[in-house]
A and B are shown apart, each in its own frame.
Chain A
Amino acid sequence: MQQLTEIRWHARAGQGAVTAAKVVAETALAADQYLQAMPEYGPERMGAPIKAFTRISSDPIEIHCNIENPDIVIVLDDSLLDIVDVAEGLTDDGVIIINTCTPPEQVRTAISIPVTARIACVDATGIALDTIKRDIPNTPMVGALIKVAGVIDMDTFKGLLAKNLGKKFGQEMIDANWASVDRAYEEVTVA
């Protein structure tokens, strides 16, 4: 039986959702899984709401269409909660992971989401500013993803992160990114 996980990313253009979707896909490949990662291309301007999609599977992925019933939704910017139906189509046993300072119980009252679905919150922006010293929440969000949903392996992800960052940056930047992943993994709260 095919084990297929479908992830939908919500972000503002420039926050690194596409890059994160790509590294998650590469991590899946390193575990010999099949993958698909595609942004939904629309108006290309910084700050505009964007979506990206990731499929990870034990078997070859044949379908080429948008993900309408994601198992996991990742929201990189909580200002989108007011303007985008981020939980649209989320499966009943799905999980939504949000970059926010608001606790999950409070988020549940603010968005439309199946009662059985889980909400996970983490201050990925705060963590990124502390560790990487820049407002790029995408990397810590993957740490939260690994904690809450598994799907990809932490060590493999960190290895790829180091390999990708190593092309442009030194060990200090790699350590900062690793720290952001570890902190999000520890600090994410689920309800």
Chain B
Amino acid sequence: MPTHTTLAATGNSVVAEAMRQCKPNVMAAYPITPQTTIVEEFAGFVAKGKTDCEYVTVESEHSAMSACIGASAAGARVMTATSSQGLALMWEELHIASGMRLPIIMANANRALSAPINIHCDHSDIMGARDTGWVTLFAETAQEAYDNTIMATRIAEHPDVMLPVMSCLDGFITTHSIDRVSVMDDESVAGFVGEYEPRNALLDTGTPVTHGAFAGLGGPYFEFKKQQREAIENARAVVSAVGAEYSALSGRPFGAIETWGMDDAEVALVVIGSTAGNARAVARHLRADGMKVGVVKVRVWRPFPYAELAAALKGMKAVAVLDRAESFGAEGGPLYLEVRSALYDLEMRVPVVGYIYGLGGSDVKLELMERVFSDLADIAAGTAAPAGLVYLGAREEA
């Protein structure tokens, strides 16, 4: 059984620790707030000889992911971290990493995108990378950020998956807050993730292969993309199995979605990331007052848990979906669109209302959660119709 040590540590610090424990061979990274302290602490491990990882300093995130791709194709276990504009600058490489089926692990400190310039938390960066073919996990807490990093390694390298995985934590809120976190001993983590056995490694000179070759008109490009879809579909079962195994090891639950109060809830709030805690805290109070409210947290964003959400939300009198990112010109944010889609095949229609909240680190006050539950109660009671998209807590004149 593993030895557990309880720390007072930031999310970034325990992500760096988890990465060290997963024993990557190569890290290539470029600093960007609020991710910087991950690669800074990891560089410290390299300098102190606490890891034999090759640390590659580069001049941009574009180069960071390019170096990761090269190293991963060569046969290394590769990790990196980024945020916001850095993730945006990686965009073309994100597709190349997933297209070349390279199991790179990347932490993303969720941060707003310019303009206007803002360094604080929202999910604009990660939602922009939604369709790049990466398995994507979200953390509510520093603890989950630690756990997700370790699980990500196993998921990425699973022979049925072989895809890059992004492990996302909320900028500043989770990256920089000191929280109570339990970490495992090195040996237990190393035993859980196992040795990486690369397939089709460029450095395996006995069996020469080509990576990322031309597959133009009449070539296998189309079929290749089909295989990528199959791989990320396979990830559903792998995420579930790895999650169950990790739960047994760590003693902490894991699910693609995590529900609170949903056994007898009449209305529910669906949310991603650190705000889930705010929603639960308010829901506890409302429960004490007799309101049957529930909270659904989405922990795996890609592949999206449609079936799990449909099962959890079936029969709800009203559902609120909170998005910390925009999808300009769409009916609502990215999570809203997915939840609506997940509920489409249900026989009974579930009223769904979308909220955009917390952009650019706008403080997620508890009264905002109270307002959402109050709206849901009104819809459930039939005293109000579901409103169009709500910008939750936005000032009329800013």
Contacts and interface: CB of A to CB of B under 8 A. Distances in A.
Given A36-B178, A37-B178, A68 B173 contact: no
Given A25-B8, A41-B172, A68-B365, A62 B278 contact: yes
Interface string A21-34: 11001101100001
Contact of B366 (A26, A37, A61, A65): A65
B363 A26 contact: no
Interface string B167-192: 00010111011111000000000000
A35 B275 contact: no
B176 A39 contact: yes
Contact of B277 (A26, A39, A62, A66): A62
Contacts of A168: none
A104 to B, nearest CB: 30
Nearest to B121: A64
Residue from B8, B177, B365 whose CB has the most chain A CB atoms within 10 Å: B8
A115 interface: no
A38 interface: yes
Interface of B: 6-8, 34, 119-120, 170, 172-174, 176-180, 274-275, 277-278, 280-281, 363-366
A63 B177 CA distance: 12
Nearest to B33: A41
Given A38-B177, A66-B363, 8 more contacts: A22-B8, A29-B6, A29-B180, A36-B178, A61-B179, A65-B278, A66-B365, A68-B365
Interface string A53-72: 00000001111111010000
Nearest to B279: A62
A22 B332 CA distance: 39
Interface residues of A, number: 21
A168 B383 CA distance: 64
A29 B364 CA distance: 26
Interface of A: 21-22, 25-26, 28-29, 34-39, 41, 60-66, 68
B178 A64 contact: no
A39 B119 CA distance: 14
A67 to B, nearest CB: 10
Contact of A65 (B6, B280, B364): B364
Contacts of B120: 41
A35 B176 contact: no
Residue from A38, A60, A64 whose CB has the most chain B CB atoms within 10 Å: A64
A63 B277 contact: yes
Contacts of B363: 65-66
A120 B166 CA distance: 48
Contacts of B278: 62-65
Contacts of A62: 277-278, 280-281
A74 B280 CA distance: 29
Contacts of B173: 38, 64
A29 B181 CA distance: 10
List of 4 A-B pairs having minimum Cβ-Cβ separation, nearest first: A62-B277, A38-B177, A37-B178, A64-B274
A78 B172 CA distance: 28
